[in-house]
Amino acid sequence: MRAISGGPNVVEFIAAYRELDRVFVVMNLFPHDDIFSLIHKMPLDETLQYMRNLFIALHHIHRYRVIHRDVKPANFLYNRAQRRYLLVDFGLSHFTSSTQKRKSSVEKSPSAKENVVYSSPIGLPPTVSFV
């Protein structure tokens, strides 16, 4: 995770430590607005900038073969006054090797493709991996 740390619009990881069965990650404080109070009021150009900066962050982490797996407004912080953005919460992220097979179980089953709907990863059992 250090490779992606502090990249464009990506949170900087300062330190991490383990205590029994818990892992703690230390990051810089990032003052941000409540995106849910802004999201329906933002003009189109501001929304496009928000999305553009999200794609910049995703492009950066994907270059290092990191898949976030929990992209949502609550995990892409926005400081409106400073026009700064930050992708956070890599708790469900996954590192892929360059040789790893990239087919999900949905892709393996042609009949399942017709019934696919979006679901947040929070609803998936911990053993399910789509990478």
- Per-residue pLDDT, 122: 55
Residue 124 lies in a domain: no
Residue 118, domain member (yes or no): no
Domain membership of residue 67 (yes or no) is yes
The total of structural domains in the chain comes to: 1
Question: Is residue 129 included in any domain, yes or no?
Answer: no
SS3 21: coil
Using CA atoms, how far apart are residues 88 and 70, in angstroms rounded to an integer? 10
Tokens of 32: 């941000």
Structural domain of residue 56, as residue ranges? Answer: 1-98
89 among known catalytic residues? no
Whether 45 is covered by a domain: the verdict is: yes
Give φ, ψ of 38 to 5 degrees. Answer: -100, -30
How does pLDDT run across 31-90, given as a tens digit for each residue?
999 999 999 999 999 999 999 999 999 999 999 999 999 999 999 999 999 999 999 999
Q: Are the CB atoms for 86 and 41 separated by under 8 Å?
A: no
Residues above pLDDT 90, as percent of the chain: 58
Choose, from 33, 34, 45, 70, the residue flagged as catalytic: 70
Kindly tell me if the per-residue pLDDT of 4 is higher than 70. Answer: yes
CATH number, position 53? 1.10.510.10
Give how far Cα 42 sits from Cα of 27, 62, 75, Å. Answer: 28, 28, 18
